[in-house]
Structure 1
Amino acid sequence: MDEPAFHQIVADVLKGEIDKYELIMNRCNKAIFNYCYHMLGDYAEAEDCTQEAFLKAYRNLSKFQPDKPFEAWLYSIACNQCIDYLRKRKLSRFLPFLYQKDQDNRHVDQVIEHKYYNPSVLRALARLTAEERSLLILRCVEDKSYQEISLILKHNTTYLRKKYERAAAKFRKHYAMAEGEETNEQGQRSGPETTLSKG
C-alpha cells in the first residue's frame, strides 16, 4: 500500500467509513506487532500494545498530518506505547536482539544480523535506555533508514547517527561483560550462533 492509499483511507474513515480502518490494520499489523515484540520481549504484552497503538491511532486520525508518512506516524504511536509499558515494569526484562560479535569492527547494522535467545543479549539490553534500544531495533531489526527513524523518534538524522554509534558501542561493551559473567557462571562455553538465517 503506497502513501496516497493510506491518505485516502484516512480521509474515508474521517468521513464516516470506519470499516476501511481495517485495511490499515491488515497492512500494518505484522510490522507493528514485530516492533512491539522486539521492544517488550513478551508476546502477550506485544499483542496488547499493538492493539492499543491501533486504537490510539484511530482515535487521533484527525491529528494525522497528511504531509507526513502514515506508517512513521503509526510507529511513533507504537513507540510511545512501548515506552509506557517499559516504564510500568521498570525495564525489568528485554527482548533477545539480533547480534553477532563485532570481531572485525564492522558497522553494527552489518553484524547485528541473526536472531537467537541468549542471556547475555538480555543482560546487555537491560543496560540500555528505551530510546537506545528503540533506535537499535528500528535500524537493525526493522531496517529503517535514519530519515524514517527521525520521523518516528522525532530527532534529526545527525543526532540519531551519533546516538546510534554510542548505543551500539554501549551494547557491545555490555554484551562482552555479560558474556564474561555467563562464562564465570557456567564455565567455558562456546560463543553465540552466527549461522542462523535472518528472519
Structure 2
Amino acid sequence: MSADVRLEELGMNEPERSGLSKVDEPEFSRLVERHRRELHVHCYRMLGSFQDAEDTVQETFLRAWRRRETFEGRSTFRAWLYRIATNACLDLLAKRRPEPATGGEVLWLQPYPDRLLDELPADDADEPEAVAVARETIELAYLVAVQHLAPRPRAVLIMRDVLGWPAKDVAELLGDTVNSVNSALQRARAGMREHLPAERQDWAGGDEDLGTRELVRRYTDASVDTDIDRLAALVTDDVRTSMPPTPGLYVGRDAVVDYWVESGFEGMTGLRTVPTSVNRQPAVAYYHWHAEEGAYLPLTIDVLRIAGGAITEIITFHADQFPLLELPERLPAS
C-alpha cells in the first residue's frame, strides 16, 4: 500500500501524531485538498470575494507546505490550516482593503454557487461548516454585514461565532489576549446587528417552500415582461438593491422603482431566464436577445432575499459571473 493511500485511509491521525516533516509533496497535497472547500468558504466569508478566496486558499496551501515542520500535532491538522488561512486573509486585507466597507454596499462582493457549497461535509456533526451553513452565515446579507467590520474583529467573529473556536485559541492565532478577543467579539456582534436586516431570523434562506417558489416565478415573469408595476408589488417598502461592482445602493420601494425607470429597464424586450441559486438564496439569470449572434447572451443575475412572503433585497451581478455559476454561454432562439 502506498503512503498516499495509507494517509488517506487513516485520516489525519498519522500527521497529528508524527508531524509533517517526513511527508512528501504528493502526500501533503492529498492531505490539504480534502479541506479545500471548507477553507475556501472560510476565506470567502473573510473577504467577500470568490476570486480573492481562491487566491488565498492557494496561498494557504503554499504557506502550509513551506511551514509543514511547524505542525507538531498539538491541534488538529484542520485547525492548523484554518490558522494559516485566517492569517493569509488578514494579510490580503491589509494590502488590498485596509478599510472595511461603508454605506451598506460591498463593491467587491461576488456570489458563491450552491453547487460548490454542496461539496461541504453535511453529515458529520463535528464538521464546522455543516453547522456554519445551517446558521445562514453564507447568505449575501451576512457577507455584506461582515465586510463592514474591521479585519481583526471580523476574524474574531467568524472564528468564534461561525466556527466555534474557543477564545483562547483565537487569541493564540491573532497573537492577542483572551480579554482583547472577547472585547473584539462584542464590538463585532454589535456591528453585525447594525448592518444585518432586522427580519433576518425569519428568512426563507435556501429552504424554498411553495410560497417562495411561486414568488420567484412571479418575479421572473414580471421581469421578462419588464413590468415595473408588477415588480413593485412583489417587494417590501424597505427593499434594497445594488449591483456590485457598480456603485449605488437604492433603499425603499420608491427609490428602487426610480432606479429601474432611469436605467431604461421598462420596455426592454428580448429577455429569457434560467433559474439558479447562490449563497443558499434563489437567483435568476437573465439573457438578452442579440440578433447578430442569433442567440440570447448573458446579461445579469438577480439574487433575491425573501422574508414574509415578499422580496426584501435584490443584488444583481454582471454577466462575468455566469461562468462561475456554470450557466450556459448562450441560449438558442428556440
TM above 0.5, yes or no, is: yes
Partner of 2:272: none
Partner amino acid, structure 2, of 1:60: R
Partner of 1:140: 161
Unaligned runs of 5+ in 2: 1-10, 111-133, 199-237, 242-249, 257-304, 309-334
Partner of 1:125: 146
- Pairs within 5 Å for 1:160-175: 160-175=181-196
Partner of 1:18: 25
Question: Cα distance, 1:39 vs. partner?
Answer: 0.9
Question: Cα distance, 1:176 vs. partner?
Answer: 6.4
Measured in 2, the distance between the counterparts of 1:135 and 1:170 equals 13
- Pairs within 5 Å for 1:66-81: 66-81=73-88
- Scaled by the length of structure 1, the TM-score of the pair is 0.67
Measured in 2, the distance between the counterparts of 1:135 and 1:192 equals 29
- Which has the higher Rg, Structure 1 or Structure 2? 2
Partner of 2:232: none
Measured in 2, the distance between the counterparts of 1:193 and 1:181 equals 11
Question: Cα distance, 1:95 vs. partner?
Answer: 6.2
Measured in 2, the distance between the counterparts of 1:141 and 1:95 equals 19
Partner of 1:61: 68
Measured in 1, the distance between the counterparts of 2:53 and 2:88 equals 10
Question: Cα distance, 1:128 vs. partner?
Answer: 1.3
Measured in 2, the distance between the counterparts of 1:39 and 1:137 equals 8
| Identity over aligned pairs, percent | 26
Measured in 2, the distance between the counterparts of 1:9 and 1:171 equals 39
How many residues matched?
Answer: 174
Change in Cα spacing, 1:4 to 1:165, as seen in structure 2 (3 Å) is: farther
Question: Cα distance, 1:24 vs. partner?
Answer: 1.9
Q: Is 1:6 aligned to residue 16 of structure 2?
A: yes
1:154 aligned residue (175, 182, 186): 175
- Scaled by the length of structure 2, the TM-score of the pair is 0.43
Asked if structure 2 preserves the Cα contact closer than 8 Å seen for 1:10 and 1:61, the reply is yes
Partner amino acid, structure 2, of 1:187: R
Asked if structure 2 preserves the Cα contact closer than 8 Å seen for 1:40 and 1:82, the reply is yes
Asked if structure 2 preserves the Cα contact closer than 8 Å seen for 1:53 and 1:74, the reply is yes
Q: Give 3-state SS (helix, strand or coil) of 2:34's partner.
A: helix
Q: Give 3-state SS (helix, strand or coil) of 1:144's partner.
A: coil
Q: Of Structure 1 and Structure 2, which has the larger fraction of its residues in helix?
A: 1
Partner amino acid, structure 2, of 1:159: S
- Say which is worse superposed, 31-40 or 67-76, in terms of deviation: 67-76
Task: Give the number of the structure with larger relative contact order, counting CA–CA contacts within 8 Å between residues 6 or more apart.
Answer: 1
Asked if structure 2 preserves the Cα contact closer than 8 Å seen for 1:113 and 1:140, the reply is no
- Say which is worse superposed, 58-67 or 46-55, in terms of deviation: 58-67
Q: Give 3-state SS (helix, strand or coil) of 1:10's partner.
A: coil
Measured in 1, the distance between the counterparts of 2:72 and 2:16 equals 12
Change in Cα spacing, 1:164 to 1:193, as seen in structure 2 (3 Å) is: farther
2:43 aligned residue (32, 36, 55): 36
Measured in 1, the distance between the counterparts of 2:172 and 2:17 equals 17
Q: Of Structure 1 and Structure 2, which has the larger fraction of its residues in strand?
A: 2
